[in-house]
Amino acid sequence: MLFKQQALLRQKLFVLGSLAIGSLLYLVARVGSLDRLQPLCPIDGRFGPRNQDEIPLRALQFKRGLLHEFRKGNATKEQIRLHNLVQQLPKAIIIGVRKGGTRALLEMLNLHPSVVKASQEIHFFDNDENYAKGIEWYRKKMPFSYPHQITIEKSPAYFITEEVPERIYKMNSSIKLLIIVREPTTRAISDYTQVLEGKERKNKTYYKFEKLAIDPNTCEVNTKYKAVRTSIYTKHLERWLKYFPIEQFHIVDGDRLITEPLPELQLVEKFLNLPPRISQYNLYFNATRGFYCLRFNIVFNKCLAGSKGRIHPEVDTSVITKLRKFFHPFNQKFYQITGRTFNWP
Residues annotated within the binding site are 99-103, 182, 190, 292, 308-312
Distance separating alpha carbons of residues 22 and 14, to the nearest angstrom: 12
What separation in angstroms does the CA of 166 have from each of 112, 125, 170? 29, 9, 6
Residues in the chain: 345
> Residues marked as binding for 3'-phosphoadenylyl sulfate?
99-103, 182, 190, 292, 308-312
What separation in angstroms does the CA of 181 have from each of 51, 100, 237, 272, 341? 36, 5, 12, 18, 12
If DSSP states are collapsed to H, E and C, what string results for 46-66?
HHCCCCCCCCCCCHHHHHHCH
Q: Tell me the HSE value of 228 on the side-chain side, using a 13 A CA sphere.
A: 22
Phi, psi of 292 (to 5 degrees): -75, 140
Residues annotated as catalytic (active site), given as ranges: 99
Q: Can you list the alpha helix ranges (DSSP code H) found in 244-316?
A: 254-259, 261-271
Going by the DSSP 8-state scheme, the letter that residue 143 receives in this structure is P
> Which amino acid is present at 13?
L
Q: Can you list the alpha helix ranges (DSSP code H) found in the chain?
A: 2-37, 43-47, 59-64, 66-71, 77-82, 102-109, 128-131, 135-139, 164-171, 184-201, 209-213, 226-230, 233-240, 254-259, 261-271, 317-338
Helix (H/G/I), strand (E/B), else coil: 112: coil
> Which amino acid is present at 210?
E
Sign of CA dihedral 301, 306, 307, 312: positive
